[in-house]
């Protein structure tokens, strides 16, 4: 099965009332394990590569300073890993860019084989965020690639994103954002946090998400709502990796690599499998339409008429 854009999966989740997890993969072992556990639960999969991860996978250890060419190379490497285990998979798989920081980062991911991108303009003024997001949407939709935007600021740290406090998303502004940009999905802020949040200092205002959904339904606008900040790592996985030298600086000895890889795969399967059940996406893969990028590009074109 070829990779699909995000839109058909989000349409299925909204129609049939289930949540869909999205999981970052920065190594072949993670991609392999994530796809395997989704297949076991017959759940569609969203695998993510972060903007900075693309730089790292492009060969830049100082990935904060990765060039556009580094990101293009890294995007292809991550896409190659996902396709290796996903092309013959019975489940639909989306390859999504997490926190694209600018237009060029999104274009690099698309060139590398991503079927969905996030453009994070949440640090900008509303009108500037709209303008940037709309530019990405125009470019991506012409290629059948889906787009996620972000409105509101989440506390915490993730890649290049950092904020000590949250700015809650205004539901009316969210609807305006969907209407003006044409995004397929929108990450909103309602008290969730970037990073490995365990609930400390988190004050959820779920009524914000409920209000946005009701407004979208009333206006007849399609839009999936996205929650960031659901990261978690089992303590035993952290201890096991550290026990194998994970806290050391420099390279890990080659003889330890299989053990670390096995540890990573077991951890991914445990965490991802648990969340698939909690989100309710198990058994839902057959409900997701398998749409190619070419077909999706034609659909986006008709939506603009």
Bridge partners, 161 (sequence order)? 158
Beta-carbon contacts of residue 98 (< 8 Å; ≥ 6 apart): 22, 24, 48, 49, 50, 51, 53, 118, 159
Three-state SS string across 39-54, please? HHCCCCEEEEEEHHHH
Q: Which residues pair with 155 in a beta bridge?
A: 193
* Catalytic one of 98, 120, 159, 184: 98
Gap between the Cα atoms of 119 and 105, Å rounded: 9
256 is catalytic: no
Query: Measured at the alpha carbon of residue 253, what is the angle toward residues 251 and 256, in degrees to the nearest 5?
Result: 125
d(C-alpha 116, C-alpha 106), whole Å:
9
Read off the tokens for 14.
């909204």
Contact 166, 189 (CB under 8 A): yes
Cα–Cα nearest to 170, from 209, 220, 224: 209
Backbone angles phi, psi at 224, to 5 degrees: -90, 140
As given in the structure block, the two tokens for residue 88 are 């013959």
Tokens standing for 28? 């072949």
Interhelix angle 126-141/103-112, rounded to 10 degrees, is 20
Active site residues: 98
């Amino acid at each position: 099965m070829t990779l699909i854009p995000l839109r058909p999966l989000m349409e299925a989740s909204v129609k049939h009332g289930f949540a869909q997890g999205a999981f970052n993969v920065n190594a072949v072992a993670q991609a392999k394990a994530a796809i395997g556990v989704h297949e076991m639960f017959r759940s569609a999969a969203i695998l993510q590569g972060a903007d900075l991860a693309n730089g790292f996978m492009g060969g830049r250890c100082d990935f904060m300073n990765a060039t556009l060419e580094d990101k293009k190379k890294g995007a292809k490497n991550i896409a190659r890993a996902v396709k290796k285990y996903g092309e013959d998979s019975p489940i639909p798989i989306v390859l999504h860019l997490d926190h694209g920081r600018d237009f060029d980062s999104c274009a690099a991911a698309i060139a590398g084989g991503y079927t969905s991108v996030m453009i994070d303009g949440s640090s900008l003024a509303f009108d500037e965020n709209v303008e940037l997001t709309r530019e990405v949407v125009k470019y991506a939709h012409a290629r059948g690639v889906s787009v996620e935007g972000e409105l509101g600021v989440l506390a915490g740290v993730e890649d290049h994103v950092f904020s000590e406090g949250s700015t809650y998303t205004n539901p009316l502004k969210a609807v305006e954002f969907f209407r003006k940009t044409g995004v397929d999905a929108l990450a909103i802020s309602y008290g969730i946090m970037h990073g490995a949040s365990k609930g400390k200092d988190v004050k959820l205002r779920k009524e914000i998400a409920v209000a946005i959904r009701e407004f979208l339904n009333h206006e007849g606008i399609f839009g999936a709502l996205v929650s960031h900040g659901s990261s978690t790592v089992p303590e035993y996985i952290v201890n096991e990796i550290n026990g194998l030298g994970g806290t050391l600086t420099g390279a890990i000895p080659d003889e330890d690599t299989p053990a670390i890889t096995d540890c990573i795969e077991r951890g991914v399967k445990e965490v991802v499998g648990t969340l698939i059940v909690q989100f309710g996406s198990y058994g839902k893969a057959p409900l997701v339409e398998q749409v190619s990028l070419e077909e999706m590009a034609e659909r986006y074109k008709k939506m603009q008429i």
